[in-house]
Structure 1
Amino acid sequence: MKIGVSGASGQLGGAVVKYLLERSNEHSIVAISRSPEKIKLEGVEARFGDYNQPSSLSEAYSGLDRLLLIPSTDMETGRRAEQNITAIDAAVAAGVSHIVLMSSAGTRNVEKTNIAAEYFAPEQHLMKKANQWSILRMSYYAEAIIAEAQMSLAHGVLTGITENKVSFVSRDDLAAAAAGLLVSEGHDGAIYTGTGPESLTGTQRAEAIAKASGKSLKYLTLPVETLHEQLQQAGLPEGIISAIVSIQKNFSNGDFDIVTGDIEKLSGRPARTFESILSNTTF
């Protein structure tokens, strides 16, 4: 079987490729990227493929039996949805038997300014177009909140628009789960959600980070208007501001307050706790 990973030079995609190499000696691995020259793993075929160049995808996906589509980090409203739909169409046209889409917890039909909309349209398109499909939704990256906290430690405050609960998941666990899904059977039509083993409140995550870093950190809620104003004052582009605000709103809606056993089901190992991820972080 020939398995492709689209977005393979990114952090998640690169980790998926490495886990595929560990788990699938009998399969051929194809790493697809805008920068295939960055992929230098023995036993891996590197191919050029750019979501923004649809003509490149037909050749990139040619001959694949299974394909993992990892969304880009493009923050322009509607762009990721458009890219993923284009990639799905290219994969179907190339005859890929089974398409796996990385998506997000809380995906639903919402206004286009909400980041969840970037995942809803491709999910629906995948279900309509693909012969066989699977979806792996992810909770929020533990690494992302830790990076945010590292910037916040100087001020001693981690902010959110409400007290909320989030089941932070490590990128590495998601990669292992995606690899497990790609090399095993019985996932056609399945929607999984990769989460950490527990949901943490804002106060709990601030306390955990403070303990791991040895620095004071408190959790503070502030009005969404204040958050938007602060992000504007920081000079961030409007697309990034919209994404950050919508993520905070989705936190408040409880979209990431979900705990499943899907990481262990797909990867064969339990999801790492937030504390264990922090223990390997340099502050």
Structure 2
Amino acid sequence: MIVVIGASGNVGREVVTRLLERGLRPRALTRNPQGAAFAPGVEVLGGDLDDPGTADRALDGADAAFVATAGPAAPAHDEALARAVARCGVPRVVRVSSVAALPPVTDAYGTAHAAAEEAYRATGTACTFLRPAAFMSNTLQWAWSVKADGTMHQPFGDLPQAVVDPADVAEVAVRTLTEPGHEGKAYTLTGPEPLTARDRAHRLAQALGRPLTFVDASEEEAHQAMVKAGLPDDYVTALLTALGDPTPARGAVPLPTVEELTGRPPRRFDTWLKTNLHHFR
């Protein structure tokens, strides 16, 4: 039985769907089981990783675990999960990490992901780490302002990133969960083309058929907005530092990894946009 931690997230939900398509019956951990709306065949487990015992309940009897933690609480959640992996004897773990964890690690955000990877390795279980570039779905953060006044605000507007579709990350995750040969590996996952935020904004305007205004926010403006939204100051600082440094090895240049692992090219941003355009109308 495969356990999906973070099953309501943009990657986790896709993992659940693909496991069902393979005839498997995953266990999905979610904080909101009533609103999760998973398809029949999923064992839905409600629980919050802030609560002691949730990790053990989720991983009890697991043959493999997919882990996607996020936000300021992620380091604590990963520590709890790693301890539970060891206690429950989970044979295989696949964790969504980040390109920021690629050495040399240069910022606190990458340090947190690298520390999480090491925590799972230390359990002695077979681990695979997926290190995606920025997700195409991050574009959804513009939806409210696009609908409100036709603007998109983001810092580092001219830095390229080979953004990746979360569905491609999920497909790689399912293969590494269910097929042999991925133990001890770390895969950097990107989309097929480098795009700046300004590029994505232009394509969104074309797809909507109306003019939009891209505002290249300063780092300080972005910092203030994220803190105002409730994120801790030190977490915002770490995240913005990582976002402002997409080096070629860390998501700025497309890599063939998705195609090598899935047998098909990664999805293009235009394809993702067509599927998700309704969010911006």
Q: What per-residue deviation string (whole Å, max 9, x for no partner) do you get for residues 66-98 of structure 1?
A: 1111104x43xxx21111121011012101011
Task: Give the distance between the partners of 1:181 and 1:238, measured in 2 at CA.
Answer: 32
Task: Give the distance between the partners of 1:194 and 1:137, measured in 2 at CA.
Answer: 6
Which residue does 1:54 correspond to in 2? 52
Aligned Cα RMSD in Å? 2.6
**Superposition deviation, residue 8 in structure 1:** 1.8
Q: Secondary structure at the match of 1:169?
A: coil
Q: Residues 29 and 236 of structure 1: is their aligned pair in 2 closer, same or farther, counting only changes over 3 Å?
A: closer
Unaligned runs of 5+ in 1: none
Q: Secondary structure at the match of 2:40?
A: coil
**Superposition deviation, residue 173 in structure 1:** 2.0
Matched, 1:142 2:136: yes
Q: TM-score, normalized by length of structure 2?
A: 0.84
Task: Give the distance between the partners of 1:103 and 1:275, measured in 2 at CA.
Answer: 25
Counterpart pick for 1:106 among 100, 103, 106? 100
Q: Secondary structure at the match of 2:48?
A: coil
Unaligned runs of 5+ in 2: none
Residue correspondence of structure 1 range 57-136 to structure 2 within 5 A: 57-72=55-70, 74-75=71-72, 79-107=73-101, 109-110=105-106, 114-136=108-130
Report how many aligned residue pairs link the two structures: 271
Task: Give the distance between the partners of 2:238 and 2:199, measured in 1 at CA.
Answer: 22
For 1:30, the aligned partner's letter is: R
Identity %: 25
Matched, 1:259 2:257: no
**Superposition deviation, residue 267 in structure 1:** 3.5
**Superposition deviation, residue 136 in structure 1:** 1.0
Comparing 245-254 with 203-212, greater Cα deviation is found at: 245-254
Task: Give the distance between the partners of 1:161 and 1:123, measured in 2 at CA.
Answer: 28
Q: Residues 102 and 229 of structure 1: is their aligned pair in 2 closer, same or farther, counting only changes over 3 Å?
A: closer
Question: Are 2:6 and 2:29, in contact at CA under 8 Å, matched by a contact in 1?
Answer: yes
**Superposition deviation, residue 61 in structure 1:** 0.9
Q: Residues 222 and 42 of structure 1: is their aligned pair in 2 closer, same or farther, counting only changes over 3 Å?
A: closer
**Superposition deviation, residue 258 in structure 1:** 3.5
Task: Give the distance between the partners of 2:194 and 2:125, measured in 1 at CA.
Answer: 35
Comparing 13-22 with 249-258, greater Cα deviation is found at: 249-258
Q: What per-residue deviation string (whole Å, max 9, x for no partner) do you get for residues 131-167 of structure 1?
A: 2100012221212224326525725454323520111
